[in-house]
Chain A
Amino acid sequence: MISKRISHLFAFAMITSCLVIVITCWGFILINVVYNGWSVIGWEFLFKNPKNGMTEGGIFSAIFGTTMVTFISCMFSAPIGIACAVYLNEYTKDNWVTKLIRASIRNLASIPSIVFGLFGLAVFVKSMGFGPSILSAGLTLGLLTLPILITTTEEALRKVPSGLREGAVALGATKFEMIITVLLPSSLSGIFTGIVLSLSRAAGETAPILLTGAAFYSRYLPGSIKDEFMALPYHLYVLSTQHSSIEQVRPLAYGTAVVLIALVFFMNIMVFILRSKHQKKFYG
């Protein structure tokens, strides 16, 4: 029947056009940012600090600040998150308590990032007295990424075939030894995927660091983790809303956007490579 063919062709066209729209939008975004920011990228931009009212110079302090704060967030959330996932997956039975815990973790992953910022301000900056600092911001970002890490680690652990676990125990290993020597190494790439994903999330978030430590301008690199710091996403935010010559610094803003996107892409590509290496190693 011809009308059926036509309607099916129409459906086919609609579906394909959806993907085309998505690729066009995102392609436009990326091409626009790279096209406008490319000219600014260079040795000075990437490795020098800003000068002359941030209209010249580079964004090294922002890159450094972002790096430090994501490391701190990882150092906080990785051990706790991995341990939590291991405990939930290996040591506990599947009862209503663990179901509730897993549900809470999933729900807390969807809390808006600004709420974590509010929480970080109240607890780390104020109550614990760390003040606005790399430490406060890092801990806040660590909280933000904790649920993601727990979930991805649990998935990675689940993918390990039970035969590996049982084999180790059969050979006389204690549970702890089995976890350390067999389970974690074989799920390492999955865990690493989770860590890198949470790192890239932490690097790109602005809301949690708004009041927990990010600074508009600071001439030197932060001297310790109790100092304020400049950060890439916050720098882009202030260059586009608070600077006195927004139009003049727009190329720098574009450049910052390019660096941010490149950072995030680089981390995701690392994840991709890790995952495919792991596939080859374990599943032939």
Chain B
Amino acid sequence: MRRYYLILFLLLFACRNHPVEKLIIKGSDTEINLVMAEAESFMEKDSAVSISITGGGSGIGITALFNKRCNIALSSRPLNPYEEALAMRRGIYINATIFAKDAIAIIVNPQVEVKSISLSQLAKIFSGEITNWNQLGGHDGEISLYGRQSSSGTYNFLKDNVMTSDFAPGVKQLSGTGQIVEAIKQDKNGIGYVGIGYIVDQTGKPNREVKILSLQPTDTSAAISPLSKLDIYSGRYPLTRPLYQFTIGKPTGKVKEFIDFQLSAAGQKIIEENGFFSIKPQQQAILQ
């Protein structure tokens, strides 16, 4: 019996390998796979650091940052007024680094005939005002809405920039963007919002199992597809947004090294390979 406890005790200490610095990153589901690729590449070059990443949504990352449970919070949205007030109350300075650009794609099942919609129609669809595809020129089918949960930066981005009223209560709130894509592949009436990185492969070719809608910024303008890099960089595609990484105070030490790596040419190349859009080095903005 005593030998058993001794072995357990030894095992606990056995896992201590060479001293590495630990970096804990939490937050955005949109960014998580991208940052995992960045981290893998970074750790290949630098073996004295161990990065652990957890997702769940931008809100979870920001909350963890405030509670000092992580070094970097990944967020696909800026801080909201409540969070800014909280930071001010606690005397914390939250540093924001923009490291990539994202486009939110509205995807539907390939069996949906609609090819493009306007932003106001998008708002009406997700608020439940438009309920059937035949109201948009498609087949007769009740629109099946897919979205994220309230901790998601993408959810909040849409809420702040597109929606004019609340999301419909019937929106299915799935645990991750990946699950949304999988569900819409099989749901002939499905529509959902995802970060573009989830539906294009490394060469920029879109996933053929879902259909990407083109968006009209106003009811009368031309429809723009998120697959055109030019339209994303010029801002013509209406749902582009910067992707943030928040830290408490200016980044230092390994945190700074990792963020600098992501902003370097090698890091930005990884961003492009994962379907997102790089920011030119001059455009890197440090807010506040």
Contact = CB atoms under 8 A, between A and B. Distances in A.
B11 A241 contact: no
A102 interface: no
A250 B19 CA distance: 35
Nearest to B178: A246
Contacts of B51: 218-219
Given A75-B8, A216-B32, A243-B178, A222 B15 contact: yes
B37 A53 contact: yes
Given A53-B37, A75-B8, A225-B12, A215 B182 contact: no
- How many chain A residues sit at the interface, stated as a range, is 35 or more
A242 B12 contact: no
B13 to A, nearest CB: 8
A220 B17 contact: yes
Contacts of A240: 179
B40 A51 contact: yes
Nearest to A223: B16
Nearest to B5: A75
A244 B29 CA distance: 9
A219 B47 CA distance: 10
Contacts of B24: 132, 228
A178 to B, nearest CB: 18
Contacts of A53: 33, 36-37, 40
B197 A244 contact: yes
B54 interface: yes
A184 B81 CA distance: 60
Contacts of B177: 242, 244
Contact of B69 (A52, A125, A217): A125
Interface residues of B, number: 39
Interface string A222-265: 11110110000000011011111111000000000000000000
B20 interface: yes
| Among A51, A225, A242, A246: residue with most chain B CB under 10 A | A242
A219 B175 contact: no
Contact of A246 (B53, B56, B67, B181): B181
B29 A215 contact: no
Interface string A194-225: 00000000000000000100111111111111
Contact of B182 (A68, A217, A247): A247
B146 interface: no
Contact of B54 (A51, A216, A223, A247): A216
A45 interface: no
Nearest to A224: B16
A213 to B, nearest CB: 9
A71 interface: yes
Contacts of B20: 220, 223
Interface in B45-62: 50-56, 60
Interface string A12-25: 00000000000000
A244 B53 CA distance: 14
B88 interface: no
Nearest to A75: B8
Contacts of B86: none
B176 A242 contact: yes
A71 B9 CA distance: 10
A49 to B, nearest CB: 11
Nearest to B33: A244
A241 B36 contact: no
A223 B40 contact: no
B265 interface: no
Contacts of A218: 50-53
Nearest to A131: B69
B15 A223 contact: yes
Nearest to B34: A244
B52 A217 contact: yes
Interface string B2-42: 00000010011001110110101000010011001101100
6 contacts: A211-B56, A223-B15, A224-B16, A238-B176, A242-B176, A246-B178
Given A68-B12, A237-B175, 18 more contacts: A53-B37, A54-B36, A64-B15, A126-B67, A215-B54, A216-B36, A216-B55, A217-B52, A218-B51, A219-B39, A219-B43, A220-B20, A223-B22, A224-B15, A241-B179, A242-B177, A244-B33, A244-B274
Closest 3 CB pairs of A and B: A242-B176, A218-B52, A244-B33
